[in-house]
Amino acid sequence: MAQLTGAEIFLEALKREGVKTIFALPGGVVLKIFDVLHQQNDVEVILTRHEQGAGHMAEGYAKATGKPGVALITSGPGMTNVVTALADAYMDSVPLVCFSGQVPTALIGNDAFQEADNIGLSRPCTKYNFLVRDVNDLAQTIKEAFYIASTGRPGPVLVDIPKDISMNKTDVTFPDSVSIRGYNPTYEGSKWKIKQAADAIMKSRRPILYLGGGVQLSKASPEVLELAEMTQIPVDQTLMALGSFPGQHPLSLGMLGMHGTYVANMAMHYSDLVIAVGARFDDRVTGKVSEFCPTAKIIHVDIDPTSIRKNIHVDIPIVGDCKRVLQELNSVLRATVNGDQKEWRKPWWDQLNEWKNDHPLSYRQEPDQAVKPQYFIDRLYHLTKDRDPILSTDVGQHQMWAAQYFHLAKPNAWLTSGGLGTMGFGFPAALGAQAAFRQRLVLCIAGDGSVQMNSQELATAVVEKLPVKVFIINNRFHGMVRQWQDLFYEGRYACSYLDQTPDFVKLAEAYGAAGLRIQTVSDVDDGIREAVAIDKPVFVEVPVDQFENCYPMIPAGGCNHEMILEDPPELQKRQPVEAMGQRDGKDTILTA
Amino acid sequence: MEHVISVTLENKAGSLSRVAGLFSGRGFNIESLAVATTLDPTVSMMTIVTSGDDRIIEQILKQLNKIIDVIKVVDLSESDAVSRETALIKVSTRPEDRAETLRIVDIFRANVVDSSPASYTIEVTGAVQKIQAIIQLLQPLGIKEIVRTGRIAIAREPVRTEATQPRPLAKAN
Ligand SMILES: Cc1cc2nc3c(=O)[nH]c(=O)nc-3n(C[C@H](O)[C@H](O)[C@H](O)COP(=O)(O)OP(=O)(O)OC[C@H]3O[C@@H](n4cnc5c(N)ncnc54)[C@H](O)[C@@H]3O)c2cc1C
Ligand SMILES: Cc1ncc(C[n+]2csc(CCOP(=O)(O)OP(=O)(O)O)c2C)c(N)n1
Ligand SMILES: [Mg+2]
């Protein structure tokens, strides 16, 4: 075989992994690689304006396609900039392969120009990382990186490539398979444990399915649907699971946890059997651990043994892949389920329906008052749902309202940052998904605070013709922070008020994107239709009621059946911030 | 409760920091850690002494297993194991104390591995209690410096039944 440089091996290895698109930003030590990429057409290179943007785009791409996203960045500051995205991907189990440039091997450790300890920086926020010290190892390393990122519990993997490695030549053979002696994920669940789980399900009178992000990662939606329908068990989903079970299905109770629905949380609290599938009992879900599901037996299916019994005692632990475990469980149940499950579950469903009716999600939109964020998202959902959209969000109140009111029907359509809660995630993640699916409708529900953390990617969106529709829910606040200050800090708004937000319409236009503003309730539907019809990236600024809070809410460390359902009386008489003398008087929001 | 955990891992640059980083990052205790290569130069053996309640130990074992460079994890506390530690102790010795020092060395079957007119350097190997005991006896004489290896441990071969053997945890990620 001909001799190839490291950079050429890199390209060939990517092609063999089936990589179509990468998100990248160059620098000195990776120039050889960029030079090779520049002279080919098999792998599309999307130049981002910030390495964090590249990382989140790769995440959005991965979440929407189910395949590893790929980013390529330079040493030193390129690396430090991408760390947030790596940490985000690690928390949310997103398959990602990030290639970083490194100073030449001979200079490593010398505080060389733009040197950073990429391995040290990324160790706590990657599933694994490699420093390539010999060009002969490069092909094998890349193969292993993709394998580790996408198997077992997926996650980000970093491959650090020193400059000389990308230039050196070698006779290369590309490996076909990988075997790593310390890495053998368990996919098959114990049959005996699955049998126990089936027995518990048959005996249970108040069971609840608690679905997590693992369902989507293992593509187990059909199996979950079969299980739920066969047994008539109600379904709760975590923030990360949304879309893996149809949001409008009669068995769906919506999201559980801190901002979950009343019925979803009550169902957990009073259940006698929790069936957790690919969920990790996060503190936003458990609340006060000592009072979590006090009367329930717990079955936990997870591919990562460390997720099991990390926070909560589990009665029937099943280590394995959701899809395979549920296939086996369903086949056991199919043989045992008898009689009319609807009839048998009726008392439980009566109770659930009562909870549903007692406290449904609600908001009140007055036609002549400021737009309520919930109303806007509700309308966005109804006007776009038939187009099978992909939806990304930033982090904050708007994210929670999106989770509550945008009922996703299918998996791989919901891009949100759950574990790390990274503001600025939404816009680049939407771009990454749009790069994967150029024809689909990709929406982003952003916050006025969050969107400013990666708005530079407007340039990427315009240049690469990625027509994402970004709806900026503008409350002129770090709303989620303000909500906590309202409830727990006596309304002292330390640094949550955003005195200076840019004119988002002009901002978008300055980059050559489209800008729109939706001012009044009567503009909402037309504004949405107009935005969706534009064949360009669009920023739609939606000034909303500044003081709307997100409920239900379980205060951190609170108990799941003790939810705050509305603003306490003292909050209902708040004055607009303008009247508090903090405003320049030019506000358009309060008079909307 | 104290646990002695034996970890077989890849002898690669960075493997040790992955283990050490796990303990610091997750706030697990680490009382001692000893590591060196085995007969197979691609593999290292590590002995970690840690403590925590059952839930924490379960997490430590699982998290260790999850590290890709880790090949095998055994909790030796669950079984019969031999553990040893070595200490090098430099004792300052006035002429009138030298005989007493040697007596102590003798009692503990320790060795004097270096001596100067004003000091002995003593090497002692044994179970932790033994090391602690000799330190206690030498302290009044004046310990100038002390270095300890941390514990290393190995499972005893079963004399009777299979059941007494430590169970390796199934490696799963
Ligand atoms: C402002 C804010 C508010 C939030 N409020 C809420 C809230 O109200 N409710 C809520 O639910 N979350 C909320 N979150 C998100 C929360 O922080 C967690 O990210 C989320 O609860 C974790 O979801 P999960 O349990 O599905 O786990 P994930 O992080 O999705 O983890 C997936 C689990 O599945 C396992 N897994 C992966 N692949 C497989 C496979 N093939 N087979 C089996 N198992 C697999 C993994 O090992 C892991 O344990 C909020 C986040 C933010 C930023
Ligand atoms: C990078 C980052 N910094 C800080 C935070 C803490 N934080 C969580 S929500 C939030 C406010 C978000 O404001 P905005 O984007 O306007 O959303 P809103 O809550 O107003 O809908 C902040 C500051 C965070 N999650 N991420
Ligand atoms: Mg805001």
Encoded tokens for A197:
């789980």
**Backbone phi, psi, residue A115, to 5°:** -90, 140
Neighboring chain A residues of B172 at a CB cutoff of 8 Å: 184-186, 305, 319
Neighboring chain B residues of A309 at a CB cutoff of 8 Å: 55, 58-59
A123 at the B interface (CB within 8 A)? yes
Q: What is the pLDDT of residues B106-158, one digit of tens each?
A: 999 999 999 999 999 999 999 999 999 999 999 999 999 999 999 999 999 87
Task: Give the integer Cα–Cα distance in Å for A408 and A249.
Answer: 10
Q: Catalytic annotation on A140?
A: no
Q: Beta-strand (E) ranges in A363-513?
A: 390-393, 414-415, 442-447, 469-474
Task: Give the integer Cα–Cα distance in Å for A211 and A228.
Answer: 11
B62 at the A interface (CB within 8 A)? yes
From the list B29, B30, B69, the residue with the least C-alpha distance to B173 is B69
Task: Give the integer Cα–Cα distance in Å for A275 and A387.
Answer: 32
- Supply the ipTM of this predicted assembly: 0.91
Q: What is the pLDDT along chain A (592 residues), one digit of tens a residue?
A: 679 999 999 999 999 999 999 999 999 999 999 999 999 999 999 999 999 999 999 999 999 999 999 999 999 999 999 999 999 999 999 999 999 999 999 999 999 999 999 999 999 999 999 999 999 999 999 999 999 999 999 999 999 999 999 999 999 999 999 999 999 999 999 999 999 999 999 999 999 999 999 999 999 999 999 999 999 999 999 999 999 999 999 999 999 999 999 999 999 999 999 999 999 999 999 999 999 999 999 999 999 999 999 999 999 999 999 999 999 999 999 999 877 888 999 999 999 999 999 999 999 999 999 999 999 999 999 999 999 999 999 999 999 999 999 999 999 999 999 999 999 999 999 999 999 999 999 999 999 999 999 999 999 999 999 999 999 999 999 999 999 999 999 999 999 999 888 999 999 999 999 999 999 999 999 999 999 999 999 999 999 999 999 999 999 889 999 999 999 988 876 766 554 434 343 443 333 3
Query: Which residues, 6 or more positions from B94, have their beta carbon under 8 angstroms from its beta carbon?
Result: B118
Return the best residue to mutate from A285, A307, A473 for the ligand 1 pocket (most ligand atoms within 8 A of CB).
A285
How does A283-292 read in b/e, with b if 16+ C-beta sit within 10 Å? Answer: ebbbbeeeeb
* Bridge partners of residue A277, in order along the sequence: A211, A301
Task: Give the integer Cα–Cα distance in Å for A91 and A395.
Answer: 15
CB-CB under 8 Å, A123 with B14: yes
How many CA atoms are closer than 13 Å to the CA of A18, on its beta-carbon side? 8
* Bridge partners of residue A22, in order along the sequence: A45
Atom number, ligand 1, closest to the C-alpha of residue A321:
42
What residue of B is the nearest CA neighbor of A308? B59
Q: Which parts of A310-438 fold into alpha helices (H)?
A: 322-336, 341-344, 346-358, 373-384, 397-405, 426-436
Q: Ligand 2 pocket by C-beta < 6 Å: which residues?
A: A 394-398, 421-423, 447-450, 473, 475, 477-481
CB-CB under 8 Å, B9 with A184: no
Encoded tokens for A82:
């991408």
What is the model's pTM?
A: 0.95
Task: Give the integer Cα–Cα distance in Å for B36 and A276.
Answer: 41
CB-CB under 8 Å, B59 with A306: yes
For A306, which of B66, B70, B71 is closest by C-beta distance? Answer: B66
Q: What is the pLDDT of residues B41-72, one digit of tens each?
A: 999 999 999 999 999 999 999 999 999 999 99
From the list A383, A571, A589, A394, the residue with the least C-alpha distance to A484 is A571
A591 at the B interface (CB within 8 A)? no
Task: Give the integer Cα–Cα distance in Å for A541 and A324.
Answer: 45
Q: Catalytic annotation on A471?
A: no
Task: Give the integer Cα–Cα distance in Å for A531 and A525.
Answer: 10
Query: Which residues, 6 or more positions from A549, have their beta carbon under 8 angstroms from its beta carbon?
Result: A397, A483, A486, A487, A567, A571
DSSP A414: E
Task: Give the integer Cα–Cα distance in Å for A97 and A88.
Answer: 13
